[in-house]
Structures are given as C-alpha cells and as structure tokens.
Amino acid sequence: MAVPTPTPYPFTVQDAQVASHALYIHPNESPSTVLVSPPLSEGNYHNWARAMKMSLMTKNKLGFVDGSIGEPPQDHPVLPFWQRCNMMVLSWLIKSMNVEIAQSILWRDRAVDVWKELRERFSQADLFRISELQEEIFSLKQGDSSVSKFYTNMKTLWDELDILNPLPVCTCNPVCACGAIKKIADERNKNQVVRFLRGLNDQFSGVRSQLMLLDNLPNVNRVFALIAQQERQFSCENVSGSRALLASGTESRGVQGQGQSCGPSGYGGGNKYNSKKCSYCGKMGHTVEECYKKHGFPPGFKFKNPKYKSANLVQTSEDNQDGDEDHQDKHVAGKSGNASGTASFGLTADQYHHLMALLPAQDQKDSRTPSVNSCVQEIPTHNGLQCLQEDWHS
C-alpha cells in the first residue's frame, strides 16, 4: 500500500521577505505592544475577542490564531520565519490580558492553542450571559441621558447579544426561497425598535405612538434618527422659550425703571403702566394704602439720587419744640417721609424726647430763647416730598 505524499508547505523563504505576506514582520513591530484595551478578563471575552481579531487582521496575522497558517515541518527553511511571527502574536495576546489569565497561558508555544483555550474557557457560559443581556435590554431606560447616549448603550447590548445568539444561516443547496431567514431578521429588528421606543422618556410619547402604529416598522437606525431629530426640535423650542422669557423680563425691568412710583414697587422704579393709581399722590403703581408719601418711607430706604436723602434729615421748628408734642410727631412724620416717625437726623420721637431730657436744663432753656427766630420754609423735592429748613437770624 502506497504511503500518501504529504502536502508541501505552501510558503517559501521568498514569501516571508515580502512586506505584504503574513510571515513578514515589519521592523517597527514590537512584542510589548498592547493591541486591545481593556485587557481580557472573565466577563469581557466576546468584546475582547472581537477587538483582537480586528487588530490581528490589520497586522496581517489573523491566520496564526485561526489555524489558516499552520506550522511548517521541522526541516523546512521557512520555519524560523514562522516561529518569529508566532511568538510575536503570542506576545500580543499575553500583553492584552490581565495578570492572572496571562500566567495561566504563559507556557503555551503556539498562538492558535492559546486562542482555542481562551474560547473554551470563557465562552461556555453563553446562556447565562444571554439571559443577563436580555434583562439589561428590557430594563434599560433613557432617564437623564440624551437620546444618542441611550441608543448607544442599547446598541452595545444588542451587538453582544447578536454575537452570542447569532441569526441562523441557511445551509440548503440550492438556497431555499422561502425567505425564512429574512423574516427572522425583520422580527429581530422589530423587537429592537420596540425596546428602544419603550425605553424613551414620556416627552417622546407622541412620536412613539405614531411609529408603533405603522404596519411596517423602519430600521432601528432610521427610528433613532427620527427620535434624535425630535429631540433637537425640543431643544430649539426650549431655547426659544428661554430667550423670549429673558427678553420679556428685561423689557419689564426697563419699563419698571422708567416709572416714578413712590409706593412699594420701588421709589422711582415702579411700572408706570400698572393699573394701580394712588389717590393721595396721583402716581401709578400703588394705592393710597401703600403710599410711602402718606405713610412714610421705611427705615433705610435708598433714594436713587443721593441729594434727596436730606428729606429724611428734618430739623424741628421752634413751635414744635415749645409746644404740642403730638403735633410735632405728626408734622415730622408727614414732612420727613419716615414711616416709623423719624424726627431729627433719623431719631424716633421717643428717642428724641429721651435725648432732650438728658441735656442740661440751661441748654434746653437757651435753645428755646425768643432771640432765635426760626422761619420754616418748605422746599419741594423731585417727587413732591417737602423738607423743613430753618433760616436762622440773630
């Protein structure tokens, strides 16, 4: 019986020296390069394997982990080139794992064996991970996230679920024409659209109802584009409303600053277009019950023009000092514009009388001698207030 001739190795030394060949190693390549981040752990194998495949494919070294580039015979001249590439890929794998996993596969000699062992160790719990992904998808809500971020989080879960539970592939020969695979794909798209719409906030309830009433739901990416457009419209409306509110507030403050009210709306700062009108002073913006001119200004009231602060610094006349104290209190309260009965220099009537009682009797007598003639003059102010001024004559 004839011994079968072994299949010759398909690569030669000349192939290993071509830059586009899988056995060629570029001078810039380093075994300490980390191709994937985050590194492999017990819970991210599928994501890590997908990222590692992409990285190895860009470096033209994927054949060393999927078995398409086998080890040449021991006496083949291309063996050293293969060993270099194999160790380079093995170093990349180890650098992309956490310390515990890297220690467990450190003594493996071939990258294809390491790849196979990792798949057997970390992809066996697919059913548990599938159930976890389904629960996360059904419980995921938009909340405070934007539509884009919410869709990205849900799309990540969908992609991982598609890897663990992929769609079936038709193996009929010739390919069957029933369209069952397409129907399954449409059903999965419908489920994704429904889960995405149900996870949105209540502000999208209108567009959500319109989309779910359609007989043929669009692709989930198209649905996301429509929802994102609606979100931008809401944002523009909110910005426009805020600007209008700000403009109205600014206009209201401007009109209020033009008023000349002496009521509680602010001295000289009330809205002159206010429907209230004082029957005492005739100004707009307040009523007679709130008129500062009639009832007096509150303590610490600030006038816009400092020169009118003298309206609260009223000197008492000789008649008020000599005679009726009650008349003095009423006269000072009406003329000085102080709501608390402020007498001379911001003192109340009680404080003023108490202070006068503490002064020597001779000083009080001298201060009331008829040699001092006081002529009280009323000087109008900018808002109709009257100040008492004494003209002293010897």
Instruction: Indicate whether 17 and 96 sit together in one domain.
Output: yes
Instruction: Indicate whether 116 and 136 sit together in one domain.
Output: no
* pLDDT of 168: 84
Has residue 117 been placed in a domain?
Answer: yes
Q: How many angstroms separate the CA atoms of 335 and 342, rounded?
A: 10
Answer whether residue 281 shows pLDDT above 90.
no
Q: Which of 19-28, 235-244, 326-335 has the lowest mean pLDDT?
A: 326-335
Domain hosting 201: range is 126-166+180-234
Has residue 61 been placed in a domain?
Answer: yes
Q: Which pairs count as long-range contacts for 265-269, CB under 8 Å and 24+ apart, including other chains? A: 267/292, 267/297, 267/301, 267/302, 267/303, 267/304, 267/383, 268/303, 268/304, 268/383, 269/304
Token code pair at residue 207? 């567009």
Does the predicted model carry a pTM greater than 0.85? Answer: no
How far out from the chain centre does Cα 154 lie? 21
Has residue 319 been placed in a domain?
Answer: yes
Mode of pairing for the β-strands spanning 386-393 and 373-380: antiparallel
* pLDDT of 93: 95
Instruction: Indicate whether 117 and 131 sit together in one domain.
Output: no
Domain count, the chain: 3
3-state class (DSSP) for residue 358:
helix
Q: What is the pLDDT of residues 130-158, one digit of tens each?
A: 888 899 999 999 999 999 999 999 999 99
Has residue 50 been placed in a domain?
Answer: yes
